[in-house]
Chains A and B, each alone.
Chain A
Amino acid sequence: KAGVTQTPRYLIKTRGQQVTLSCSPISGHRSVSWYQQTPGQGLQFLFEYFSETQRNKGNFPGRFSGRQFSNSRSEMNVSTLELGDSALYLCASSLGQTLVATNEKLFFGSGTQLSVL
């Protein structure tokens, strides 16, 4: 079974641009969550999608948005990029057997390393 796939692996953008990152979950998984990892702030939760609906979100500004498609694939978008958005962006999938799947194991992709110049 293929793991969680994130594309692209590396991305370089300039300030003010926007970027879209993609995540394909493990086949059969319905829940996808996104995280930002930086040396200064560590790993922080962005948002989580289940059945095409955002069901949980972290404390990030509205420039960060996402969506989930009917095949469970998810995209994350960051508009008006800032230097501080440089980070490793990770997505994780889980089975999503229940609407409030608090005890499900997460499977992470290798991430997209975003550099904002």
Chain B
Amino acid sequence: KQEVTQIPAALSVPEGENLVLNCSFTDSAIYNLQWFRQDPGKGLTSLLLIQSSQREQTSGRLNASLDKSSGRSTLYIAASQPGDSATYLCAVRTFSGGYNKLIFGAGTRLAVHP
């Protein structure tokens, strides 16, 4: 059974720091891994999608890597800003129980203070 774990559960950093969020998954048979951002009481915003054949994706100050063999992904945020404060979720798309489904981690709650 696929399980997704995110470490740390919460993180508080001063503005300007570079930071790394971690995501691990137990079954390497995935279609892709996605990183989302969720602001309080809101839906999710897709940040980056890494297909199983890819190693990394970049968007602005965000860089996500994927190591399928070790079951790990990292989201790197450069020069953090207070506006980056949110919960970051990773999810793997996998085939399980006869269905294609997205399985989420519990998220990392990030606070960037001025």
Interface residues of A (CB under 8 A from B): 4, 33, 35, 42-45, 48, 55-59, 88, 90, 92, 100, 102-103, 105-111, 113
Contact = CB atoms under 8 A, between A and B. Distances in A.
Contact of A42 (B45, B49, B93, B104): B104
A59 B100 contact: no
A43 B89 contact: yes
A107 B46 contact: yes
Interface residues of B, number: 25
Contact of A102 (B31, B41, B44, B45): B31
A23 to B, nearest CB: 11
B46 A106 contact: yes
Nearest to B43: A108
B106 A4 contact: no
